[in-house]
Amino acid sequence: MEIFKDGAAYLVELFGGWLKLTTEGDMIETSQDDPEAFRDTIDVETLYPHQINPINAPQQSDKQKVKQQLLALLEILPEESILQVKDFTDFSITRNTSRRIDSTS
């Protein structure tokens, strides 16, 4: 995810499965453990603030609903998609943590 003009817009990349290029120049599916693997980009979307519904701490009941929805989705998602969600979450946490550290320095 990229943030433009202090939150005026966000560029979000949606990832697909793991691929690699064969010696013939074809792309084939592979696993993330393959040293030549890379992520297939499904789409890149620009989102604007009016398209995003933030969850604020006071909206605890809404936050709980979202948690329940996420848990339900995790039950039906394929394992690869669950790993993508985990990777994105790890990235977001790391990015937000580093921003907080930078702003306090």
pTM of this prediction?
A: 0.36
**Rounded Cα gap, residues 7 and 5, in angstroms:** 6
Q: Which residues of the chain have pLDDT under 70?
A: 1, 53-61, 98-105
Alpha helices in 2-78 (DSSP H): 60-76
Tell me the two tokens of residue 100: 């907080």
Residue-wise pLDDT tens digits, 80-90: 888 888 888 88
Please give the pLDDT value at position 101: 64
Q: Which residues contact 2 (CB under 8 A, 6 or more apart)?
A: 10, 11
**Amino acid (one-letter) located at 32:** Q
